[in-house]
Amino acid sequence: MYRVIHETFHTDPDNKRLSANARYLFMILITARQSHSSGLYYMSIAEMVGATGLSEESIRVGLVELSKKQVLYDQETELVFVTSAARHQPSGQNKTRSIQNHLKNIHDCDIKRLFLKKYPEFNTHPRTPTHTHAQRSATLCIKEKEKEKEKEKENIHDSAEPSPCLSSPQKPKKDKKSTKKTCDSRIKRLIDFYHDEHIRVFGQKPHVLGGRDAMTVKRLLTTIDEDEFKRRLLLFFQDPLKWMDNPVHSLTAFEKVVDRYVTNQGTDEGDPTTWPPGPDGNHVGYWWDKDYNHWRKDPDHARWRQ
C-alpha cells in the first residue's frame, strides 16, 4: 500500500499558512497506516500521538488548524476525513470499487455525508436524504410496522382454509403492535428530550446517531421507565465525567453509566465529608467508587479531594 502526495503540497498557499506541527500532522494523516485512498478512516488521538511523536495538546491544536479546509475530525466517532485525498490518489475502476466497499464499513454520520456530497461518484445510493433525529426514529418505527404486517400476511397465507380459530391468535398480535407503537413513541420523545436538554445545559446541539441512539434508548427502556430515564439523564448532564479522557455527554456514554444515577448523589465523587477513611488514613491518592463501594488508586490525583 502506498499513498500519493501531490507535488503542489508544499506550494499550496493554504498549506504554507499552516504551522510546522499542523503541516507535519497533515502529511501523517495522508500517509498513516490506518489511512485510506478515500481519505475517510478511523484514527484516535492516541494513535496520532504515537504516529507523529507530538503531544496530545499539539495534535488537538493541529486538528483545529486543519479543520478550516484540509481535514475534518469527529472526536466522538474518531473519524478522519482528509478532504482532498480521494482526488489526488490514483484513479481507476479498482479505486472506485475499493472506496465503495470501504464506505460500507463507515457508520452513517455528518462527515460521511459531506464526503458523499463532495465525491458523488462513489455513492452507491444516489438518494441520500439528510434526516433529523426525529425523522430517523419515525423511519425506524415505519420499518418495524411493515415487518409486522408481512409476518401477519404470511401467517394467514400458510393457513389451509379460513376458520374461526384464525381470529384468536391475531388478537395478541394487535396488542403486540400497539405495545410496540407505545414503545416507539417513547423513544422519539426521549430522544427529543435529550436533544432539547443538551442544548439548554451545554448551549449546543448534541451529535445524535439516529438508528444507534434509538436502539440505545430502546434497551434502556427495558430496565427503567420514561420518567426515571429523564431524571437520570439530567443527573448525567450534571456529571463532569472526569473519568473519561474526552468527556462527551452522548446517549452511548449515558447507557454505560446509567446505574451511577440510581440516587441523586450519583454524580462523580459526591460530598467528600461522606467518604469513608482512605487506605492511608486520608483521601490523597485515592477516589471513592460509589458503584462498587471501595477505594481506587489514583496516582495522578485527578479525582481526589482532601
Is residue 209, in this structure, part of any structural domain at all? yes
Q: Which residues, at least 6 apart from 214, have a Cβ–Cβ distance to it below 8 Å? A: 136, 137, 140, 187, 191
Q: Residue 75 is part of a domain; what is its CATH number?
A: 1.10.10.10
Same domain for 116 and 18?
Answer: yes
Q: Which residues are registered as beta bridge partners of 79?
A: 42, 74
Nearest to 69 by CA among 15, 138, 146: 15
In Å, what is the CA distance from 290 to each residue of 6, 18, 234?
55, 47, 19
Question: Residue 114 burial by CB count (10 A; 0-12/13-18/19+): exposed, middle or buried?
Answer: middle
pLDDT at site 104: 86
Comparing 102-106, 132-136, 195-199, the range with the smallest average pLDDT is 132-136
Same domain for 249 and 285?
Answer: no
- DSSP codes, 137-181: HHHHHHHHHHHHHHHHHHHHHHSSS--GGGHHHHHHHHHHHHHHH
Same domain for 90 and 51?
Answer: yes
Comparing 10 with 230, which gets the higher pLDDT? 230
Same domain for 200 and 299?
Answer: no
pLDDT at site 48: 92
Is residue 148, in this structure, part of any structural domain at all? no
Q: Which residues, at least 6 apart from 230, have a Cβ–Cβ distance to it below 8 Å? A: 190, 193
Is residue 57, in this structure, part of any structural domain at all? yes
> How far is the C-alpha of 154 from the C-alpha of 99, rounded, in Å?
39
Q: How confident is the model at residue 7 (pLDDT cuts 50, 70, 90)?
A: low
Same domain for 208 and 289?
Answer: no
Average pLDDT over residues 187-198: 92
Cell numbers of 302, please?
Answer: 485527578
Domain C-terminal end among 89, 122, 155: 122
Same domain for 22 and 114?
Answer: yes
> How far is the C-alpha of 296 from the C-alpha of 288, rounded, in Å?
6
> How far is the C-alpha of 291 from the C-alpha of 294, rounded, in Å?
8
Q: How confident is the model at residue 4 (pLDDT cuts 50, 70, 90)?
A: low
Same domain for 251 and 288?
Answer: no
Q: How confident is the model at residue 1 (pLDDT cuts 50, 70, 90)?
A: low
pLDDT at site 129: 47
Domain C-terminal end among 99, 122, 145: 122
Same domain for 27 and 118?
Answer: yes
Is residue 154, in this structure, part of any structural domain at all? no
Is residue 8, in this structure, part of any structural domain at all? no
**Domain range for residue 211?**
171-261
Domain C-terminal end among 122, 147, 163: 122
Cell numbers of 150, please?
Answer: 408481512
pLDDT in tens, 137-148: 666 777 777 888
Model-level pTM greater than 0.75?
Answer: no
Is residue 305, in this structure, part of any structural domain at all? yes
Same domain for 293 and 239?
Answer: no
pLDDT in tens, 202-214: 899 998 887 889 9
Nearest to 207 by CA among 257, 239, 256, 248: 248
Same domain for 297 and 230?
Answer: no
Is residue 63, in this structure, part of any structural domain at all? yes
pLDDT in tens, 70-95: 899 998 889 999 888 777 766 666 77
Asked if the model's pLDDT at residue 155 lies above 50, the reply is: yes
Asked if the model's pLDDT at residue 243 lies above 60, the reply is: yes
Instruction: Indicate the number of domains in the chain.
Output: 3
pLDDT in tens, 256-291: 888 888 876 555 444 444 445 555 555 455 555 655
Q: Which residues are registered as beta bridge partners of 256?
A: none
Is residue 2, in this structure, part of any structural domain at all? no
Same domain for 182 and 227?
Answer: yes
Same domain for 118 and 217?
Answer: no
Comparing 150-164, 211-225, 237-251, the range with the smallest average pLDDT is 150-164
Report the sign of the C-alpha dihedral through residues 102, 108, 113, 114, in that order.
negative
Asked if the model's pLDDT at residue 178 lies above 60, the reply is: no
